[in-house]
A and B are shown apart, each in its own frame.
Chain A
Amino acid sequence: MFHWLEKNPFFFAVGVFVVIAYAGIVEILPDFAERARPVEGRKPYTVLQLAGRDVYIKDSCNACHSQLIRPFKSETDRYGMYSLSGEFAYDRPFLWGSKRTGPDLMRVGNYRTTDWHENHMLDPTSIVPGSIMPAYKHMFNNVADIETAYAEAYTVKKVFNVPYDQPDMPKLGTWDEAQKAVLEEAKPIVEAMKSQEVKEAYARGEIKEIVAIIAYLNSLK
């Protein structure tokens, strides 16, 4: 039997595949039903927050910042309550990261403000002397892609039944409604910011990337 397998590439390949696929079948598949349940009170991201999340991904913030607080006293002291699986139920993709060149951001919304982020993104060392984080000035120029964020929210609602437009949940509505809601949501952030450019852009109906990412970071709690 064994020798036959060694000479028959097709069945050999099938054998190899069974052996390597085994771990995935046992380990990963059965948990899918169970793990995706959100904790109570968890809400999906608004369109503006999603746009900010896309900026976060575009600039690979997850290359240096984790979003996963491990259950140790040293971590809960530093970052807050440790992470629960259900808190990530609306995260597509997950953004746990694998390296903490900078601090964890899972609950950064609890202890940082719009003002702090604005200054920090312009010049990190002005807020945190010795910081090795680059400045992200281009976020003040680039316009956030609200359309794609809306498409994303719409997709997860349709395909994965993410509970938009349900009682006590964020409203998605039509594209027109969503645009208004985004402007509404961005308003307090823009007002809290100093940058004239951002304010002028907002007056024209444009949302800069920096506004979106601050909305996202503030939502991380």
Chain B
Amino acid sequence: MQSSNVINYDYSVAKLFSYAAILFGIIGMGIGVFIAYQMAFPELNYLAGEYGTFSRLRPLHTSGVIFGFMLSGIFATWYYVGQRVLKVSVAESPFLMFIGKLHFWLYMVVMLVAVVSLFAGVSTSKEYAELEWPLDIGVVVVWVLWGVHMFGLIGIRREKTLYISVWYYIATFLGVAMLYLFNNMEVPTYFVAGMGKWYHSVSMYAGTNDALVQWWYGHNAVAFIFTVAIIAQIYYFLPKESGQPVYSYKLSLLSFWGLMFVYLWAGGHHLIYSTVPDWMQTMGSIFSIVLILPSWGSAINMLLTMKGEWGQLKENPLIKFMVLASTFYMFSTIEGPIQSIKSVNALAHFTDWIPGHVHDGTLGWVGFMTMAAMYHMAPRMFKRELYSKKLMESQFWIQTTGIVLYFSSMWIAGITQGMMWRATDQFGNLSYSFIDTVTVLIPYYVIRATGGLLYLIGFFIFTYNFYKTMTASKAIENEPQHASPMAA
């Protein structure tokens, strides 16, 4: 163990991915706020010709925040947490160091090309899988590189047992790999016909089958990126920041297997009352309800980890971010199953309640957890204390207000529209033409966009705070053991 005295954890790749998360966070959320305002004020569609319409920008928003912001956050935390819980430094293996850097730069190249291609309207139309086949190959290579790094690091670890976070990272890797590959099975038309655009392709599946595969992917990409990988983070960062061991490690193991088994079945709830077989719709509905158990298993475990330590909530804004994240996780994992009940789904499907639900999870749970993780990593990566606690406090409240505005307005909008679509007069005729059900929503769209704007402002505060921590904050001698040091 002589040598390990001079070895330190190497955070260079974690830093790179943190910058990427901030960059894509600003781009993705910025576009999100913009297109939210477009729904209230359609004139905003005409600022950039064909490249500025809502329909072109929407895939950019979803891909930007999912594959830009969240995924960068996941990678950043892997390159940080992975080393620590396996007790091995990347610096010990030049090969893994190289793989890590290659992973980052290739990822950036793929993202850049993806942004350009989506602006140009090159799309397969499948939600969250819009990229055409050449980019899909790029994504697969990036993903494999991550896997090589992950299993490589596990291979040279000092800690025999894999910590629960590593379980979740492995599951993220495997789950997304499987889903992405199967959903993006497509035939490049150029290679068959010898003409047309070389990057164009046609899906291997048709109609209902295609829908089934797409929502098996769509729902579970959510599962494995928004949920599994974020649980990996909170199982490390909350105990570490608070100095409390996980309330019940056994429960964390059990809810892991529960989640793995149940989640994949729930995809069918996106297709209730569609033309997929009834038993699949029912299965999707039932398993969505069952899903509450393992989801709440993790969330309750997190909240109970803070048992007897609730005072920290007052002193440490980071704990506040993470506790609110777990609360929003509980909230959206109860909201989702409710929407999966057939009769509720009949009302809610196709309305604004669905994006409302998604944003509960993404803004409240994923966004807060990612930012908390980066706040926690910053003092360790840069050997400086966090720049400002006050800014963190105000960021917390601004963003929380933003989320509340967002989901409350979308609830009302969604239910209003759902009710108006089905309303009939005394003779059984439809009461409203479609446009009536749109104009009535404009005030809610304004509130929603403003909620989103508040969240974005909070993200700018976060960026500023992070930047100042990097450059202008007080240096610290030793790596902090638990609570992250921060200046008032």
Contacts and interface: CB of A to CB of B under 8 A. Distances in A.
Direct chain A–B contact by Cβ atoms under 8 Å:
yes
A203 interface: no
B275 interface: yes
B207 A90 contact: yes
Contacts of A101: 39, 438
A20 B182 CA distance: 14
Nearest to A99: B350
Interface stretch (A21-29, A111-119, A183-191): A21-29
B216 A24 contact: yes
Interface string A7-42: 101101100110111111001100110011000000
Contact of B178 (A20, A35, A58, A103): A20
Contacts of B260: 16, 19-20
B374 to A, nearest CB: 27
Interface in B166-189: 167, 170-171, 174-175, 178, 182, 187, 189
Contacts of A95: 125
A136 B53 contact: yes
A85 B208 contact: yes
B196 interface: yes
Contact of B434 (A78, A84, A94, A149): A78
Interface residues of B, number: 91
B3 interface: no
A171 B209 CA distance: 26
Contacts of A9: 151, 154-155, 162, 170
Contacts of B58: 60, 63
Nearest to B125: A57
Contacts of B404: none
The 6 closest A-B pairs by CB, nearest first: A88-B207, A151-B196, A148-B196, A23-B264, A134-B45, A151-B193
Contact of A99 (B200, B202, B354): B354
Contact of B274 (A7, A32, A83, A100): A83
B174 A13 contact: yes
B346 A155 contact: no
B232 to A, nearest CB: 13
Interface residues of A, number: 84
A92 B438 contact: no
Interface of B: 38-40, 42, 45-46, 49-50, 53-56, 58-59, 121-127, 151, 154-155, 160-162, 167, 170-171, 174-175, 178, 182, 187, 189-190, 192-197, 200, 202-203, 205-214, 216, 257, 260-261, 263-265, 267-268, 270, 273-277, 280, 283, 346, 349-352, 354-355, 421-424, 429-430, 434-435, 438-439, 442
For B40, B190, B202, B430, the residue with the greatest tally of chain A CB atoms inside 10 Å of its CB is: B202
A151 B123 contact: no
A81 interface: no
10 contacts: A16-B174, A27-B268, A27-B280, A58-B121, A59-B53, A78-B430, A88-B275, A99-B351, A142-B50, A151-B200
A129 B438 CA distance: 11
A1 interface: no
B39 A132 contact: yes
Given A130-B439, A154-B193, A12 B257 contact: no
Nearest to B177: A17
A32 B277 CA distance: 12
B189 A134 contact: no
A44 to B, nearest CB: 10
A145 interface: yes
A150 interface: yes
Given A60-B125, A152-B196, A13 B170 contact: yes
A16 B195 CA distance: 43
Contacts of B270: 98
Interface string A155-191: 1101110000000000000010000000000000000
A152 B123 contact: no
B206 A89 contact: yes
A130 B275 contact: no
Given A28-B213, A88-B207, A60 B56 contact: yes
A100 B206 contact: no
Given A98-B270, A155-B192, A155-B202, 6 more contacts: A7-B160, A77-B430, A91-B206, A92-B206, A94-B206, A130-B438
Nearest to A142: B50
Contact of B206 (A36, A66, A83, A134): A36
B49 A138 contact: yes
A10 B212 CA distance: 30
A211 interface: no
A72 B162 CA distance: 51
B196 A145 contact: yes
A191 B313 CA distance: 70
